[in-house]
């Protein structure tokens, strides 16, 4: 380990202003999905609520949600739409503890002990800043070693661009704990598996006769099979990303959108059901990689805490979040919407996957041979 790492230090609860803070207040929701006035709106940072004289961290932290206290004492961060009439919802606007709720921002953003694992890089996003693939590879590798769950969120450009084989490699080597995407990623991947094309374009980029209908034919074939898993089982699909996920038992969520053709069996066409399934993954995620998707990156960014929670506060650590896009725009948008910890890589999805794989292979070799981290 050559990189000095972040050590989270919880706030001092005995010193003012926390030492003298009042208990947090809760009010009952008056109708299903309707919050009391003055509800406390959550962030993705470590948050402490004073209940029964103690400061506690609500479970399943994320932004743009509320904190509900259940009869059994459970403190949960939950979407407003899930609040039921009578549920006790935390109220207050102050984040400094003066109303019994404390958001520990300086523990993660800025300050001498920034939570950014990449703090030795500039945080600004630019195509002109160097990308430290060596560190990215090391962080991803170590996450696998410590048994974390790396969630990959991918857009269809990744399939177009033949980074498909590299993503399969990452799946097979255990670097993908879960995959989140949409109908299009799976459609393009399955079209490639069945017909050797994506959107009617061969792997060398040439159009093929009748190509514009091939993605429809791929969808129809999988619908006939009944499910993606069945299509793999029956031998209709013998290669590709979905094949790798199914055969390696890696969980995935395909969330529906209004752009979808089909959709494929297994796609959650209800966006609220999709959000729930996605959050089932993000609640367990300890690492995140977003490649070539604006919609899914921002959706997942909204759900993802900035930190990996832990029973002992000292073990709380930043949730490394890498966002890859062709332009600075998506990364900046992600950060504008609160995912401050996102580390931006401004490049082509194909090249990112290729170079990252190359560095992870080198990291594996160095690991095996016991030698220090390659530079």
Residue ranges in 131-170 that form contacts with a second copy under rule CB under 8 A: 131-132, 157, 160-162
- Alpha-carbon dihedral 198, 204, 210, 214, rounded to 10 degrees: -20
Least distance to a second copy, CB of residue 192, Å: 11
User: What Cα–Cα distance (Å) separates residue 178 from each residue in 73, 125, 165, 286?
Assistant: 31, 26, 17, 11
Q: What is the footprint of a second copy within residues 258-277 (CB under 8 A)?
A: 258-263, 269-272, 274-275
Only segment of 15-23, 48-56, 167-175, 353-361 that touches a second copy (CB under 8 A): 353-361
Phi/psi of residue 71, each to 5°? -60, -35
Which DSSP helix (H) or strand (E) runs through 254? strand 252-255
Least distance to a second copy, CB of residue 131, Å: 6
Least distance to a second copy, CB of residue 91, Å: 12
At 85, list the tokens: 């009439």
CB atoms within 10 A of CB 234: 12
Considering only residues 256, 305, 318, 344, which one is a binding residue for a second copy as defined by CB under 8 A? 256
- Does residue 44 contact residue 58 with C-beta atoms inside 8 Å? no
Least distance to a second copy, CB of residue 257, Å: 6
Considering only residues 5, 213, 280, 374, which one is a binding residue for a second copy as defined by CB under 8 A? 213
Q: What is the footprint of a second copy within residues 287-316 (CB under 8 A)?
A: 294-296, 298-299, 302
Only segment of 13-21, 211-219, 227-235, 314-322 that touches a second copy (CB under 8 A): 211-219
Q: What is the footprint of a second copy within residues 97-126 (CB under 8 A)?
A: 120-122, 126
Q: Which residue has the tokens 């050590």?
A: 7
Q: Which 3 state secondary structure label does DSSP give 324?
A: strand
Q: Which 3 state secondary structure label does DSSP give 89?
A: strand
Q: What is the footprint of a second copy within residues 5-44 (CB under 8 A)?
A: 31, 33-35, 39, 41, 43
Nearer to a second copy, 99 or 148 (CB): 99
Distance CA 13, CA 17 (A): 8
Residue 295's region, left for phi above 0, alpha for psi from -120 to 50, else beta, is alpha
Least distance to a second copy, CB of residue 85, Å: 12
Least distance to a second copy, CB of residue 72, Å: 26
Q: What is the footprint of a second copy within residues 71-100 (CB under 8 A)?
A: 80-81, 93
Q: Which residue has the tokens 């009010």?
A: 27
Q: How many CA atoms lie within 13 A of 228 on its CB side?
A: 27
Total residues binding a second copy (CB under 8 A): 82
Distance CA 97, CA 104 (A): 9
Q: Please tell me whether residue 346 binds a second copy under the rule CB under 8 A.
A: yes
Considering only residues 227, 239, 247, 347, which one is a binding residue for a second copy as defined by CB under 8 A? 347
Q: What is the footprint of a second copy within residues 320-339 (CB under 8 A)?
A: 326-329, 332-333, 336-338
Q: Provide Rg for the chain, Cα atoms.
A: 22
Least distance to a second copy, CB of residue 206, Å: 6
172 contact partners, CB below 8 Å, separation of at least 6: 244, 248
Distance CA 356, CA 70 (A): 45
Q: What is the footprint of a second copy within residues 42-71 (CB under 8 A)?
A: 43, 64
Nearer to a second copy, 1 or 312 (CB): 1
Nearer to a second copy, 19 or 207 (CB): 207
Considering only residues 210, 235, 311, 370, which one is a binding residue for a second copy as defined by CB under 8 A? 210
Nearer to a second copy, 14 or 128 (CB): 128
Nearer to a second copy, 150 or 218 (CB): 218
Q: What is the footprint of a second copy within residues 180-199 (CB under 8 A)?
A: 199
CB burial readout 28-65, b (16+ within 10 A) else e: ebeeeeebbeebbebbbbbbbbbbeeebebbebbbbeb
């Amino acid at each position: 380990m050559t990189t000095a790492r972040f050590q989270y230090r919880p706030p001092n609860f005995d010193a003012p202003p926390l030492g003298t803070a009042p208990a947090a207040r809760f009010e009952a929701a008056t109708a299903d999905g309707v919050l009391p006035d003055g509800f406390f709106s959550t962030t993705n940072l470590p948050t402490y609520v004073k209940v029964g004289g103690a400061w506690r961290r609500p479970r399943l932290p994320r932004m743009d949600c509320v904190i509900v206290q259940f009869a059994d004492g459970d403190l949960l961060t939950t979407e407003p739409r899930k609040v039921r009439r009578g549920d006790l919802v935390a109220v207050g606007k102050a984040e400094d503890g003066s109303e019994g709720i404390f958001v520990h921002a300086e523990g993660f953003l800025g300050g001498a002990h920034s939570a950014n694992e990449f703090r030795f890089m500039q945080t600004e996003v630019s195509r002109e800043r160097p990308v430290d693939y060596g560190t990215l590879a090391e962080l991803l590798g170590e996450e696998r070693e410590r048994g974390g769950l790396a969630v990959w969120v991918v857009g269809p450009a990744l399939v177009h661009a033949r980074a498909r084989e590299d993503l399969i490699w990452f799946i097979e080597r255990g670097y993908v704990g879960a995959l989140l995407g949409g109908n299009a990623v799976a459609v393009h991947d399955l079209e490639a598996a069945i017909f050797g094309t994506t959107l009617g374009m061969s792997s060398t980029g040439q159009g093929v006769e009748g190509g514009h209908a091939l993605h429809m034919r791929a969808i129809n074939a999988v619908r006939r099979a009944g499910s993606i898993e069945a299509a793999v089982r029956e031998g209709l699909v013998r290669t590709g990303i979905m094949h790798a996920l199914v055969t390696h038992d890696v969980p995935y969520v395909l969330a529906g959108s209004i752009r979808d053709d089909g959709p494929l069996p297994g796609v959650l066409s209800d966006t609220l059901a999709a959000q729930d399934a996605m959050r089932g993954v993000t609640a367990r995620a300890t690492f995140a990689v977003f490649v070539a998707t604006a919609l899914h990156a921002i959706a997942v960014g909204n759900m993802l805490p900035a930190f990996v929670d832990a029973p002992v506060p000292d073990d709380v650590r930043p949730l490394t979040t890498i966002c890859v896009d062709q332009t600075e725009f998506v990364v900046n948008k992600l950060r504008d919407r609160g995912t401050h910890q996102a580390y931006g890589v401004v490049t082509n999805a194909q090249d990112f996957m290729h170079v990252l794989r190359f560095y992870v292979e080198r990291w594996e070799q160095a690991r095996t041979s016991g030698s220090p981290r390659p530079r």
